[in-house]
């Protein structure tokens, strides 16, 4: 999930209490004895530290989530059951693009479903130590899964959740993904410089400033000459907004997909619009409330800078 370009995005999230509840939800789901699928099948010898290589979501209604994403992107699903835990691997064609955990929630629970990115590392335990030394917290301790490799979930110094994974089957190749696959990730932070510095220490990123006309910071973090993610200032018009990651799916027509999301029970959170550099983007939420972005991208956009 990397492109040779410099996109960015913006979005709002819920309060710190919700982030902590989300972390607890993720921890409970990942503690289950699941046989997680390999990240690369067939296995590769590729390793791309700092690349977002997998996304997971904990959902209170797995069946509803499957219907939504199948109708929106054409994803199919392979179910995995382990005791009381239900897990589905989402596939775009034959390619796995994410995992969905079933996790029932009490009616009074304020937990907010969200997509959680796993970023490639060579050594999860070393990444954990480095992250803690630079102000992070551990949400889910490192654990090894036979076919997946070793992974953990961390909260960065501002509280934004992300995972790290050392894949036992190698990492997916750096290629432009097909429509319906994840194409970009964007971190929204109170102090973009400090947050970019944290991820630079953890993943060895290069950090670049993006020109801005909105009086806010926009940075790109890259490795191996590929832009991996953006780090952006949180919008200042609400004290309830908290640091968070937002992940984008490649689409051909953001307006059309946004409308289809609504027809399938989702909501439009940010209407389709042209960003600063001319790319059309939108932000929607699935029926459980999990937000994600939509980004138009053509095969000729490799040299453009959509945001």
Sheet hosting strand 52-59, strand order edge to edge: 76-82, 85-92, 95-102, 52-59, 115-120, 161-167, 149-155, 137-145
Lowest mean pLDDT among 77-86, 140-149, 243-252, 263-272: 77-86
CB-count burial class (<10 Å; 0-12, 13-18, 19+) for 46? middle
Q: Which residues of 152-191 are buried (b: 16+ CB within 10 A; e: fewer)?
A: bbbbbbbbbbbbbbbbbbbbbebebbebbbbbbbbbbbeb
Q: Can you list the domains of the chain with their CATH numbers? A: 17-167 (3.10.180.10), 175-296 (3.10.180.10)
Q: In angstroms, rounded to a whole number, what is the distance separating the alpha carbons of residues 2 and 275?
A: 19
User: Per-residue pLDDT averaged across 273-298, rounded?
Assistant: 89
Lowest mean pLDDT among 134-148, 179-193, 201-215, 291-305: 291-305
Residue 10 has pLDDT above 50, yes or no: no
Tell me the whole-structure pTM to 2 decimals.
Answer: 0.87
For tokens 């989702």, the residue is 266
Higher-confidence position of 239 and 124:
124
Helix H or strand E segment including 270: strand 267-274
Residue 52 has pLDDT above 50, yes or no: yes
What pLDDT, in 10s, does the model give residues 97-153? 999 998 876 443 456 789 999 999 999 999 999 999 999 999 999 999 988 999 999
């Amino acid at each position: 999930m990397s492109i040779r370009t410099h996109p960015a995005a913006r979005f709002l999230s819920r309060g710190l209490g919700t982030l902590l509840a989300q972390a607890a939800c993720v921890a409970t789901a990942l503690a289950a004895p699941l046989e997680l699928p390999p990240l690369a099948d067939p296995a590769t010898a590729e390793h791309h530290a700092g690349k977002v290589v997998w996304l997971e979501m904990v959902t209170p209604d797995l069946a509803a989530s499957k219907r939504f994403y199948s109708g929106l992107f054409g994803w199919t699903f392979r179910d995995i059951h382990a005791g009381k835990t239900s897990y589905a691997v989402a596939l775009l064609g034959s390619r796995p693009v994410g995992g969905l955990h079933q996790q029932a929630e009490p009616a009074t629970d304020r937990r907010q479903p969200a997509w959680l990115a796993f970023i490639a590392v060579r050594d999860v335990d070393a990444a954990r130590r480095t992250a803690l030394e630079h102000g992070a917290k551990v949400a889910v301790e490192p654990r090894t899964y036979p076919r997946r490799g070793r992974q953990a979930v961390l909260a960065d110094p501002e509280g934004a959740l992300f995972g790290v994974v050392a894949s036992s089957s190698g990492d997916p190749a750096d290629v432009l993904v097909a429509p319906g696959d994840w194409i970009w990730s964007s971190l929204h932070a109170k102090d973009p410089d400090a947050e970019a510095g944290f991820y630079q220490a953890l993943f060895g990123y290069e950090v670049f400033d993006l020109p801005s006309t909105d009086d806010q910071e926009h940075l790109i973090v890259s490795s191996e000459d590929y832009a991996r993610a953006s780090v952006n200032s949180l919008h200042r018009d609400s004290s309830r907004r908290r640091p968070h990651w937002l992940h984008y799916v490649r689409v051909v027509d953001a307006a059309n997909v946004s409308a289809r999301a609504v027809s399938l029970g989702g909501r439009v959170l940010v209407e389709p619009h042209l960003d600063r550099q001319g790319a059309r983007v939108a932000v929607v939420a699935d029926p459980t409330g999990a937000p994600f972005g939509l980004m138009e991208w053509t095969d000729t956009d490799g040299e453009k800078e959509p945001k």
